[in-house]
Amino acid sequence: MPYNSPKGAIVRLLRRPGMWEQCQLWRKDGDHEPSELLDVEDFLAGDPDAPINDIYDGYGWRQFPAFLERWWYPRRRQVKDVAVTPGPVRQFVSLPCGLLVAINIDW
């Protein structure tokens, strides 16, 4: 069965001329530095009449955390997300690359 490594495919994709820049076109003012996760109250306090044209304009896009590890505690049967870097949790999309790959299933 043919197989293509996702990591290798992303590397090849980003090596294409202009592709890195193309992947960064969604960024607006204030999206070029690492930033903390956005509170829902702060998101809702923005312009209520601003159109949401794409996934990048929505609340969920900025809520993927970076630098977390998921730890499993078998005795307590509990899962906990633990920060692996000091300081506040950052938005994954605010990192220099900020490229997300997701698989969504609609049952």
- What are the boundaries of each domain within the chain? 6-94
- Looking at residue 96, its pLDDT comes to 84
Kindly report whether the global pTM for this prediction surpasses the value 0.75: no
pLDDT per residue, tens digit, the chain (107 aa), is 888 998 899 899 999 999 989 988 888 877 788 888 888 888 888 887 888 888 888 888 888 888 889 999 999 999 998 988 888 888 888 888 887 777 878 87
Q: Which has the closest alpha carbon to 94: 42, 31, 43?
A: 31
- Decide if 67 contacts 59 (C-beta within 8 A): no
- Looking at residue 56, its pLDDT comes to 83
Contacts of 85 (CB under 8 A, 6+ apart): 67
* Phi, psi (degrees; rounded to nearest 5) at 82: -120, 130
- Looking at residue 37, its pLDDT comes to 85
Q: In angstroms, what CA-CA distances link 24 with 12, 36, 95?
A: 17, 19, 11
